[in-house]
Amino acid sequence: MTKMLITGGAGFVGQRLLDRVLGAAALTVSDVQGGTAEVTVDEVVCLDVAEGARRDPRVRYVVGDISRREVVDACLDADTGIVFHLAAVVSGSAEADLELGQRVNLDGMRHLLARCASLGHQPMFVFSSSIAVFGVGMPARVTDETQPMPLLSYGAQKLCGEIMVHDHIRRGVIRGGSLRLPAVIVRPGSPNGAATGFSSAVWREPLAGRAYALPVPRETRMWCASPRVVTAALLHALSLTPSQWSPWPALNLPGLSLSMQDCVEALDRATGLGHTVGEDLDPVITPMSRTWACDFDTPRALALGFERDANADAMLRAYVEDHPEEIRVPLNEGPGGL
Ligand SMILES: NC(=O)c1ccc[n+]([C@@H]2O[C@H](COP(=O)([O-])OP(=O)(O)OC[C@H]3O[C@@H](n4cnc5c(N)ncnc54)[C@H](O)[C@@H]3O)[C@@H](O)[C@H]2O)c1
């Protein structure tokens, strides 16, 4: 009997991850002997402040606050073998409310790790960190050797989380590590509190038939990956052995460095609607966006088998395929179109 916990399981990435877990016959998971085993997941507990839409007899939603220890304690038991920790107060919200960010992102992590340690069987633990751990004095291209130095509270809290995860691995009470996610695009529906929300909105809004004004200049670059690639990476992380995570169990994930202009051009190729994207610079988000690391070299993750999207057109196409209900405009056929 193997149970999985997904914190933040009702969120954007959490629901996509849940889909993949439920669709997989078995997951390849590194075992305590340093090898791998095929594991069937019998139950997935999703801890979140809201219930998710995805229903399945194997899924149990626990509606609660991760910053409350008793809530966390009740979500894990002796059969919990895998934990994906995705619950977070994200970038814009963590910057706007330091106390809230620290309570959820730091206290929540602390409760979760303490409960994992109490189980006594070293559950596999994968933490969704962020490239926001990079901020101050970044080189033009971040490499696997670049030291993280966050500028904003969200990145600082993610880096603290990585260090806490590492310390618990060193103590031998969990296995696994942290993945530094790129901006995941395209988020369907409504935005969350992430300051990077424009990188999804630049496609989502025009594709839904709504005009959109970017809060940042068009030349703004982002390190991006699709939900398909990111959820595949989260599952692939389960299979990594301690020696593969070594020397430091946090990985920069592969992505694509896309400017908002690149995104507008891909939109134009797909729909001819690039002209509907304007600019209305936001006085908070524009300066923030200049601090984000936007180009990476990720040989370590690529050598470990993590993948990246082919190009912007393929990412846009994946969104259209995965969310036909969000598309309200005609799409071009043929080369460059869909
Ligand atoms: N989406 C991205 O572009 C991106 C990029 C880098 C890192 N990440 C990280 O990946 C993870 C998932 O991101 P996402 O895009 O799905 O975000 P999301 O906001 O859609 O999901 C996070 C979930 O956490 C839940 N949550 C917030 N506070 C909580 C609390 N107190 N108790 C329990 N649950 C709580 C939210 O309700 C939400 O469902 C987050 O940790 C985020 O920091 C995301």
pLDDT digits (tens, 9 = 90+) for 239-257: 999 999 999 999 999 999 9
- What is the structure's pLDDT at 336? 62
State the distance from the centre of ligand 1 to the C-alpha of 304, rounded, in angstroms: 25
CA of 268 to the centre of ligand 1 (A): 30
Mutate to test the pocket of ligand 1, among 61, 86, 204 (most ligand atoms within 8 A of CB): 86
* pLDDT, tens digit (0-9, with 9 covering 90-100), for 97-137: 999 999 999 999 999 999 999 999 999 999 999 999 999 88
Give yes or no for residue 195 having a pLDDT over 90: no
pLDDT band at 52 (very low <50, low <70, confident <90, very high): very high
Q: How confident is the model at residue 335 (pLDDT cuts 50, 70, 90)?
A: low
Mean pLDDT value across residues 32-45: 94
Bridge partner residues of 83 (DSSP): 5, 125
| Mean pLDDT of the region 22-46 | 95
The pLDDT value recorded for residue 64 is 98
Give the pocket of ligand 1 (CB within 6 Å).
8, 10-14, 47-50, 65-67, 86-90, 104, 128, 130, 181, 183-184, 192, 194, 196
Would you state the pLDDT for residue 113? Answer: 98
From CA 138, how far away is CA 223, in angstroms rounded?
Answer: 14
Which parts of the chain fold into alpha helices (H)? 12-23, 69-73, 91-96, 98-102, 108-119, 153-170, 198-207, 227-237, 242-245, 260-271, 285-289, 299-303, 312-322
Give the pLDDT mean for 194-222.
95
Whether pTM > 0.75 for this model: the answer is yes
| pLDDT at residue 255, as a whole number | 98
Residue position matching structure tokens 């600082």: 156
Domains and CATH numbers, the chain: 3-182+225-252 (3.40.50.720)
If you measure from the C-alpha of residue 157 to the centroid of ligand 1, how many angstroms do you get, rounded to a whole number? 13
Q: What does the pLDDT average to over 20-42?
A: 95
Q: Ligand 1 pocket check: which of 5, 15, 90 to mutate, most ligand atoms within 8 Å of Cβ? A: 90
Q: Please tell me the residue having the least CA distance from ligand 1 atom 5.
A: 183
Lowest-pLDDT range, 4-13, 68-77, 169-178, 193-202? 193-202
292 band by pLDDT with thresholds 50, 70 and 90: confident
Confidence of residue 334 (pLDDT cuts 50, 70, 90): low
Q: What is the pLDDT of residue 136?
A: 81
Average pLDDT of the chain, as a whole number: 95
* Contact yes or no for 237/299 (Cβ under 8 A): no
Enzyme catalytic residues: 154
Question: CB-based burial of residue 206 (10 Å sphere; 0-12 exposed, 13-18 middle, 19+ buried)?
Answer: buried
Q: Which residue is closest in CA terms to ligand 1's atom 38?
A: 11
Distance 10 CA to ligand 1 centre (A): 9
pLDDT exceeding 70 applies to what percent of the chain? 99
Which pLDDT does position 246 carry in this prediction? 92
- In single-letter form, the type of residue at position 28 comes to T
> Stretch 210-220: mean pLDDT, rounded?
96
Q: From atom 33 of ligand 1, which residue's Cα is the shortest distance away?
A: 48
Q: What is the mean pLDDT of residues 311-324?
A: 97
Pocket probe for ligand 1: among 7, 15, 48, the residue whose CB has the most ligand atoms within 8 Å is: 48
Query: Which residues, 6+ apart, have CB-to-CB distance to 243 below 8 Å?
Result: 34
What average pLDDT score do residues 277-281 get?
96
Q: How far does the centroid of ligand 1 lie from the alpha carbon of residue 27, in Å? A: 23
pLDDT number for residue 36: 94
